[in-house]
Structure 1
Amino acid sequence: MAEGEKDRGGGSTGMVHLARLLQFSDSTLPIGSFAFSNGLESALQTGVVSDPESLLSYVHLILRQTARMDGIALLHAHRAARAGDYATLLRADDELFCRRVGEEQQLMLTRVGKKFAELVLKIMPSPTLGRWLDDIKANATPGCLPVGQAIALAHMGVDEVEAFVMHQYGIASMILSAALRLMRIDHLDTQRILFTAQGRVEGDYLSVRDLSLDEMASFAPVFDVLVAHHTTTHVRLFMN
């Protein structure tokens, strides 16, 4: 297939494929993720995170939890999008939303998910993504970000491994971007942490790729406590 030629999924190959994947991986993608810290704000306030090394441990915790929740939903939604199975897309969306503890976590997933769908549809046509956005607006589905990413990336011809890596990178990048505004840390430390944390992505993928939606779960009581703490704090820079 010639470089730049479109594949049957509506995507493209070679250099164009990589460039567009990088675009959707960019931490500056205007979907509102800058407003969320994924629990880091409370982790700092309670002393769970206090320095670069404890920040690295926190990023590892969130990536592990995300792989076993959002990552499983993303993989099933991606496979469903490629198969034209819209019912499974909606099930993945609902199952993930119901398993996210706390109103703020649900708000993060759905607000950013809707913004992502709106952005992508401004850039390229995607009938399935358009249908999903209509269902979000009609309150027929929650609109979780990993499901929106799965639909868009499947349409572009991105495989599930690439989609999983992109999602996990986005989570780590979100936390570290918040860290720069919340604690005494510089860009060199955050890039070191990001580089180190990404070393776990293949293991995380292999650990969840064969799990069903019913097996989607994560045991992270410290994180759940931090989420609850953030809803009652009086001084907040981030929405979660």
Structure 2
Amino acid sequence: MSTESLTMDDAVTKDRVAALARMLQFGDSMFPIGGFSFSSGLESAVQKGVVTDVSTLLAFTRTATEQAARGDGIAVIAAHRAAMVGDVKELICIDESVYARKLSDEARTMSVRMGKKFAEMGVHVLGAPLLHAWRDCILTGQGPGCYPVALAVNFAVQDLSEHHTFAVHQYGVAAPILGAALRLMKVSHLDTQKILYELSEDLDAAYERAAKTRLMDMSGYAPLMDILAAVHIKAHVRLFMN
């Protein structure tokens, strides 16, 4: 093997390692955009006796990730494709579609608050022109600025794949729920890590389905989750946003 080929292989490896590190950075559940302060309805589920142990926590988290894969996950892929070609008008349309499907006030608040923070963080850290354009769209009210679109734009400008973007999005649904569970119920770190690992087995199949689904068919039918969200809004004492 020549020295030149070794150098090229080393360069490719470094690129892959850098991409992985950045995916981990921007996909971290503790990334400072406020995601850790939301429970996605788990607080109400625990209070109402819907989630009581490890098995019901697994079922609840699986439902949340499946709902996300049929909803925001489709938007993430569509937005990533639009961002790759710099189509800001399409990004705005996708953004509005995501916002329109948020049934509760807190779901909308969560998505736009995290989306705006993510866009601002991307501008500060990466400074890519498309991120500036998307942040300006949010600030001028051209789009609500939902989190799935901000995530897609951020990953697209870094040339991270739509498959990885989808995986990070789904991880970002599950991890905060399980983090909240540690503070809301009798469950251990061992239990939550096992759940997170088990849920990752579904990612490839979920991506394949979402990648073939049209944006107009984006939906997430999980009525109990919406009922719990409504209950949570009226609660007098809350540890988390919903």
- The TM tier, using the shorter chain, reads over 0.9
Amino acid at match of 2:231: H
| Residue in structure 2 matched with residue 83 of structure 1 by the alignment | 85
Q: Map residues 174-185 of structure 1 onto 2, 5 A cutoff.
A: 174-185=176-187
| Residue in structure 2 matched with residue 55 of structure 1 by the alignment | 57
Q: Map residues 59-78 of structure 1 onto 2, 5 A cutoff.
A: 59-78=61-80
In the alignment, is the contact (CA less than 8 A) between 1:4 and 1:17 conserved in 2?
Answer: no
| Residue in structure 1 matched with residue 5 of structure 2 by the alignment | none
In the alignment, is the contact (CA less than 8 A) between 1:4 and 1:15 conserved in 2?
Answer: no
The counterpart of 1:116, out of the listed 115, 118, 121, is 118
In the alignment, is the contact (CA less than 8 A) between 1:67 and 1:205 conserved in 2?
Answer: yes
Q: TM-score, normalised by structure 2?
A: 0.93
* Rounded Cα–Cα distance in structure 1 between residues aligned with 2:110 and 2:217: 22
* Rounded Cα–Cα distance in structure 1 between residues aligned with 2:53 and 2:9: 49
Q: Identity of aligned pairs, percent?
A: 44
Amino acid at match of 1:116: F
How far the C-alpha of 1:97 sits from its partner, in A, is 0.4
| Residue in structure 1 matched with residue 169 of structure 2 by the alignment | 167
How far the C-alpha of 1:4 sits from its partner, in A, is 5.4
| Residue in structure 1 matched with residue 208 of structure 2 by the alignment | 206
Unaligned runs of 5+ in 1: 6-11
Q: Map residues 94-113 of structure 1 onto 2, 5 A cutoff.
A: 94-113=96-115
Q: TM-score, normalised by structure 1?
A: 0.94
How far the C-alpha of 1:164 sits from its partner, in A, is 0.4
RMSD: 1.3
The 4+ residue runs of structure 1 with deviation greater than 6 A are: none
Unaligned runs of 5+ in 2: 1-7
How far the C-alpha of 1:3 sits from its partner, in A, is 5.0
How far the C-alpha of 1:13 sits from its partner, in A, is 2.4
Q: What does the per-residue CA deviation read over 1:14-51, in whole Å, with 9 as the maximum and x for residues that have no partner?
A: 11111111111212211111110011111111111111
How far the C-alpha of 1:56 sits from its partner, in A, is 0.3
Kindly tell me the number of residue pairs found equivalent between the two proteins: 234
| Residue in structure 2 matched with residue 43 of structure 1 by the alignment | 45
| Residue in structure 1 matched with residue 132 of structure 2 by the alignment | 130
Q: What does the per-residue CA deviation read over 1:81-124, in whole Å, with 9 as the maximum and x for residues that have no partner?
A: 00121111111100010011110000010001111111122111
In the alignment, is the contact (CA less than 8 A) between 1:39 and 1:230 conserved in 2?
Answer: yes
Amino acid at match of 2:108: Q
* Rounded Cα–Cα distance in structure 1 between residues aligned with 2:9 and 2:104: 48
Q: Which moved further from structure 2: 65-74 or 128-137?
A: 128-137
* Rounded Cα–Cα distance in structure 1 between residues aligned with 2:70 and 2:10: 35
Q: Which moved further from structure 2: 157-166 or 13-22?
A: 13-22
Amino acid at match of 2:115: G
The counterpart of 1:190, out of the listed 185, 189, 192, is 192
